[in-house]
Amino acid sequence: MPVVIDKDLCIECEECVNICPFGSLELGPSGLECSDTCTLCGICLDVCPSEALTLPDVPEEEIDLKDYKDVWIYGEQKRGSLHPVVLELIGVGRELARKRNCRLGVVSIGNRLDQVLATLKHYDVDDIFLIQHQQLKDYNSEIYANLLTDLIREKKPEIILSGATLRGRSLIPRVAVKVRTGLTADCTELDVDENTGNLLQTRPAFGGNIMATIECPNRRPQMATVRPRVMKTASPLPSPHKNQVVQNIDPLLSSLRSETEILDTVDSLKETEDLTEAGIIVAGGRGVGAPKGFRLLERFAKVIGGVIGASRAAVDAGWVPYSRQVGQTGRTVHPDIYFACGISGAVQHLVGMQSSKIIVAINKDKDAPIFNYADYGIVADMFEVIPELIKYAERRVKR
Ligand SMILES: Cc1cc2nc3c(=O)[nH]c(=O)nc-3n(C[C@H](O)[C@H](O)[C@H](O)COP(=O)(O)OP(=O)(O)OC[C@H]3O[C@@H](n4cnc5c(N)ncnc54)[C@H](O)[C@@H]3O)c2cc1C
Ligand code: SF4
Ligand code: SF4
């Protein structure tokens, strides 16, 4: 159902034609027309000077909440290995399933999932749904979203949890739109109302100043993502699960079609993942001065088991690749410890790292804004401090 055009109001300025990201609008001999490729995104409405465009009334689909049961976890895997966040979600998912007196399932999509299955055998999961096909070797958000949507429509789970990983963030919103339900991203706490089944999804809001608990009372399934390392990893069972039900799901051929062809997977993607999921980040800014300053930070990161991050100033200077940039136009990170070395603390940098559990700032300028956000501040030249920290860390490692 496309956007509605009031041809009496339209002055044929073509503003909407130029802005539509889907090329759905065209000005022809009989005026403006909109094709079925329109996704009702609403962008064109904002640019129309004569308010000639409106979204059609889409009747709200009635659903019976009682048709939906069970808790599912999206079993993200890469090259056959489960992402650690899945084991974290199994812990919280099991608790939700216990409260709702329902089953806990994991859905995994890929090519060869034997290793995924072998891992899940050791965890308290009731149902395992495996969607395997050679075409699913590489992650493709379009196809994976089609397949997960097909399964949700068939089995009707009440709750779906996924890691807020790079892939989770790309997949789960697509699925939520397809099944027309709500999604709460980056939850830090999950609980369930045992009577209504409403998922209580708690996450920081307004820049982390308040914690909001969000419910999705009228739609099912309820979908939430959780960042890696927020929840406790589930403990493995003392012996392999004996009653797990494993279902191999044949993908619909129509759902395997995609507009995207994966030609290659580039290494920098892995670097980015490392950054967003790292427990310790050693980030450098303009104060690092040169690429060789980053070699020093790399040594420090290596000895404490961290990875390198950077401010935009350091990236723009060409000292580190963009995949390392933290901030508004880079990555949002949430490590246990964030070392900000020679970084002033501009707001665009802060938005990407201020939810780190511990922030350690090293800066020559005692008035640098970063100190307002740091748990530990060292007013000093980083080239004096970092070598001392390396020596200290090396001594601790040797002990
Ligand atoms: C639309 C927009 C988006 C942006 N997105 C991002 C983003 O995603 N990420 C980002 O980081 N920035 C972003 N920026 C840029 C941001 O505004 C800042 O310019 C940038 O973060 C500054 O980087 P910096 O702190 O490394 O450099 P500076 O602000 O120049 O700070 C360098 C700091 O190093 C200290 N210093 C110097 N030498 C030493 C030394 N030897 N030892 C210790 N300290 C030392 C100085 O005292 C200073 O505080 C964005 C800007 C805009 C307009
Ligand atoms: S609603 Fe979105 S997709 Fe539809 S015509 Fe307008 S801009 Fe294009
Ligand atoms: S922006 Fe409005 S007035 Fe201009 S062509 Fe589109 S519908 Fe007509």
- Check if 13 has its Cβ closer than 6 Å to any atom of ligand 3: yes
Q: Could you give the residue ranges of the DSSP H alpha helices within the chain?
A: 15-19, 43-47, 84-100, 114-120, 141-155, 166-178, 267-276, 291-304, 312-316, 347-353, 382-398
Structure tokens at 39: 């996704």
Residue indicated by tokens 């401010």? 311
Q: Report the sign of the C-alpha dihedral through residues 334, 336, 341, 344, in that order.
A: positive
Tell me what pLDDT residue 262 has. 85
- Give me the architecture of the 4-54 domain, per CATH: 2-Layer Sandwich (3.30)
What residues contact 64, with CB distance under 8 A and at least 6 apart?
A: none
Output 26-33 pairs: Cβ under 8 A, ≥24 positions apart.
31/5, 31/7, 32/5, 32/7, 33/5
Structure tokens at 54: 């409106």
Closest CA to 131 of 251, 254, 256: 251
- Check if 48 has its Cβ closer than 6 Å to any atom of ligand 3: yes
Nearest CA to ligand 3 atom 4: 13
Nearest CA to ligand 2 atom 6: 44
Phi, psi of 93 (to 5 degrees): -65, -40
Q: What is the predicted ipTM?
A: 0.80
Going from N- to C-terminal start, the domains of the chain cover 4-54, 65-256, 267-398
Homologous superfamily assigned to 267-398: TPP-binding domain (3.40.50.1220)
Class of domain 65-256: alpha beta
Instruction: Among 39, 46, 47, 58, name the best residue to mutate to test ligand 2's pocket (greatest count of ligand atoms within 8 A of Cβ).
Output: 39
User: What percentage of the chain reaches a pLDDT higher than 90?
Assistant: 79
Residues in the chain, how many?
399
Under a CB-based contact definition with an 8 Å cutoff, are residues 251 and 133 in contact? Answer: yes
Tell me what pLDDT residue 88 has. 95
Low-confidence ranges of the chain (pLDDT < 70): 207-209, 267-273, 398-399
Closest CA to 273 of 397, 91, 139: 139
Tell me what pLDDT residue 166 has. 86
4-54 against 65-256: fold identical = no
Under a CB-based contact definition with an 8 Å cutoff, are residues 205 and 211 in contact? Answer: yes
How many Å is the maximal CA-CA distance in the chain?
81
Structure tokens at 198: 């409403």
Nearest atom in ligand 2 to the alpha carbon of residue 42 is 1
